[in-house]
Amino acid sequence: MASSPIWASRPKTRGLVLDLIRAARTISRVELATATGLTGATISEVVRELMGDGLVVEVGRGAPTGGKPRTMVQLNPLARYSVGVQLERNTCVIVVVDLAGRQVARTSFQGAALSPPEQALSLVASQVEALLATAAVDRDKVLGIGLVSYGPQDRRAGVLLTPQPTEDWLDYPVARRLAESVGLPVVLDNDAAAAAIGEYWMGAVDPRSTYGCIYMATGIGGGVVVAGEVYRGSSSNSVEIGHISIDVHGEECPCGNVGCLENYAGPSALVRQAVATPGLAQRLALDPAGADFLTEFARIAAAANTGDAEARGLVEQSARYLGAAAVTMTSLFDVDTIVLAGPSFAVAGSIYQSVIQQEVDRRMFARRAHRVRVVPSVNGSDAAAIGGAVLVLQSELTLGNPRPEDARPVPAS
């Protein structure tokens, strides 16, 4: 059998130390030595290197401990940047984030993926260029672009393995095409996996946590993070929770499965159910022929929030279906937290959170072992785009395996 070297190498050491500094916000060299088990000398050398690269700076002194005051180090958030592009049927969101994952610029536009890919990616490229110009970010400090979209994908090849939204997109080299246009490395990844890792980078979860993310935009996706790394599986096509069957006797889905969660709980299902509810469509001025069902969905979610009983009933039903899937996620992945992320939780997020929490509390298999908390994402609607940018930061800086074979950024031409 062949196995690649797994030993603590220089980049791995650097990456871990940088990740500890990121997570701690400020930390002393002594604390870094304790946390890693490395010698003080090694830590000093690694920190010197990180400071030389501008990634880390010294700040003030730690709290007095009786002995010699300790110099603290912290991340220099302005040392590097990355770009996140979330490409969806209806919306494209582009963000520029700094090393701390904080959004420094954002833009969005409609209908990108409805154009042929060539044209759509040209538009994305020009928007990325414009955003970098607006943000006045030094291009040399931009590590790359994380392009995130729905699955299935061939992550290594940088292509989508789905004829969504049109046949043109299937097998089209989206990552290479965008890299060529912008002149920056591009990694393709799953939008929900990206949304999941953002929570870790922002420090919103315990670093050792195994947690899941349910991501809802036009469709429903999922991601699981184990101790700071996205759970990948054999081909990075994992946690496709929108297409697990919640009814083995249900209707066939275009994906090939039957009774898929998305067709019961997703925004388009809710709009369909609302239109079929006598009087509701008229009361909420829904347009059943509307091109963008997310607008109609937001109207239903808003009505649920403001007390329309029927709208609320539909949202709660959708939340119960999502709760059933969340229970499956806990029974299979044994997560300790479920994060709700994405634009379709923006309006009625608190209803979703409360119903899903109830379902999980009541039905999860290992509830005698521990509780699972259901929480909103700290990155809200933009979680996938921000997460896409974070995946680039993580892959280049802290995972110690910059450009692994299965995620090699397509080089810019």
Of the pair 77, 259, the CB lying nearest its own copies is at: 259
Of the pair 8, 130, the CB lying nearest its own copies is at: 8
Of the pair 127, 328, the CB lying nearest its own copies is at: 328
Element (H, E) at 225: strand 220-226
Cα angle 198, 78, 225 (rounded to 5 degrees) comes to 15
- Dihedrals phi, psi of 222, to nearest 5 degrees: -150, 160
Smallest separation, CB 330 to its own copies (Å)? 9
Rounded Cα distance between 108 and 93, Å, is 4
Smallest separation, CB 140 to its own copies (Å)? 31
- Beta strand 71-75 with 56-61 is antiparallel
Of the pair 83, 407, the CB lying nearest its own copies is at: 407
Of the pair 86, 238, the CB lying nearest its own copies is at: 238
What is each CA distance from 344 to 85, 166, 349, in whole angstroms?
Answer: 18, 22, 8
CB atoms within 10 A of CB 337: 20
- Beta strand 229-230 with 153-154 is unpaired
Of the pair 329, 347, the CB lying nearest its own copies is at: 329
Peptide linkage before 165 cis (omega within 30 of 0)? yes
Smallest separation, CB 397 to its own copies (Å)? 17
Rounded Cα distance between 379 and 203, Å, is 11
Smallest separation, CB 62 to its own copies (Å)? 16
Of the pair 92, 329, the CB lying nearest its own copies is at: 329
- Dihedrals phi, psi of 321, to nearest 5 degrees: -60, -45
Rounded Cα distance between 277 and 392, Å, is 45
Rounded Cα distance between 393 and 141, Å, is 11
What is each CA distance from 157 to 94, 150, 233, 327, 379, in whole angstroms?
Answer: 22, 15, 17, 33, 28
Residue 9 Rama label (left phi>0; alpha psi -120 to 50; beta): beta
Q: Residue 170, CB half-sphere, CA atoms under 13 Å: how many?
A: 5
Smallest separation, CB 219 to its own copies (Å)? 12
Of the pair 19, 98, the CB lying nearest its own copies is at: 19
Smallest separation, CB 318 to its own copies (Å)? 12
Smallest separation, CB 37 to its own copies (Å)? 2
Smallest separation, CB 6 to its own copies (Å)? 7
Smallest separation, CB 253 to its own copies (Å)? 9
Of the pair 154, 316, the CB lying nearest its own copies is at: 154
Secondary structure letter of residue 69 according to DSSP: P
Answer whether 150's CB lies under 8 Å from 90's CB. Answer: no
